[in-house]
Amino acid sequence: MIRVAWLVARKDLAIEARSRVLLWQVLPFGALSLLLSGLALGPNDAGKSTSAPGLFYLVTLFTALLMIHRASELEHTSGTRESVATLGLDPAGVFLGKTLALTLELWVTGIVLLAGSVLILHTALIGTVHALPSVLVTLGAMGAAGTMYGALTAGVDGPATLLPILTLPAFAPLLVAGERSFSAALHGGALWEWWVIVVVALVGYLAVGVLLYGVLEES
């Protein structure tokens, strides 16, 4: 399973490196969305408003949906499903590999957006650095959930609208816990209670994905 996961992750990351969609489309989209969020706050409230963590996660959600849709479509291009079936790859390994690749891409995007949050929304640098571990874990949970729902919606008519409808309920507790952790890091509050929610969600999504990814792909 681990070997399959590593091979699938390498394949997805190699495709992304060649296409450069993350570099030339997703990251600029996220940066522009964050800039628009800063303009919506206005110059007087930038750096003073408590809404910066929420805006960061809202922009992250938009970019994550783009990346999840793209990652799921990679497995449903012509001949890919047939090749996977012929090779007899372990569905759990495929799930873990795609989750790893998507999570690494989300981490790159998240770090760039955190830097943008400091520059555009004027969040405190030290507090933002303290929030980084919780952001990475939250994005990992989003990657696991997104891989599952991406497999469920890929190849279905109208996936551009179906994917957000299915994923938003799964992402809601992650966004709330992530935003609270980010805010607590900025203002010196307690983090552990929000960490519990994110870690439990991460473990739960990974467990369900390992058990059911093969069924989701065949649906």
Domain ranges of the chain: 2-218
Query: What number of H helices and E strands is found in the chain?
Result: 9, 0
Question: For residue 61, what pLDDT is reported?
Answer: 92
147: closest CA among 61, 210, 71?
A: 71
Cα–Cα distance for residue pair 175/62, rounded to 1 Å: 12
Cα–Cα distance for residue pair 213/96, rounded to 1 Å: 10
186, 114 contact by CB (below 8 A) = no
pLDDT tens readout for residues 150-193: 877 765 555 556 777 778 888 999 999 999 999 888 887 666 77
Q: 24 vs 42, which has greater pLDDT?
A: 24
Q: 66 vs 157, which has greater pLDDT?
A: 66
- Strand, coil or helix: what is 147? helix
Question: For residue 76, what pLDDT is reported?
Answer: 60
- Strand, coil or helix: what is 73? helix
pLDDT (average), residues 60-68: 90
- Quote the pTM value: 0.87
